[in-house]
Structure 1
């Protein structure tokens, strides 16, 4: 199915947010996630389903000062 990751179309066979993150190389990364503009906490990713056309945002923390 096609989803959009940070605005870029991507093909995936993942059916959950956790599986999509693993497919994209973020399995162990500390990131914030949102699906269709709704925040999804890390504890809910394994049970959060994905559907065709979903918009996934992945944000990594940045250090600065």
Structure 2
């Protein structure tokens, strides 16, 4: 399935957001996620089905002052 991940095209054989995160190396990372501009909390990622053409944003928390 063709997706956009952080602005880059990705061709992934996944069904859910959780599967995509694992396949793209974000598996254990503490990140925030959004699909098509809508925030998806950690607890809903395994049940959040992806569709062809979805846009996914993965953001890592930043530290600093």
TM-score by length of 1: 0.98
Which residue number corresponds to residue 60 of structure 2? Answer: 60
Which residue number corresponds to residue 14 of structure 1? Answer: 14
TM-score by length of 2: 0.98
Where do residues 1-65 of structure 1 align in structure 2 (5 Å cutoff)? 1-65=1-65
Structure 2 unpaired stretches of 5+: none
**Residue by residue, what CA displacement relative to the aligned partner does 1:25-59 show, whole Å, maximum 9, x if unpaired?**
00100000000000000000000000100000000
List structure 1 segments (4+ residues) > 4 angstroms apart after TM superposition.
Answer: none
Number of corresponding residues:
65
Structure 1 unpaired stretches of 5+: none
How large is the RMSD of aligned CA atoms in angstroms?
Answer: 0.4
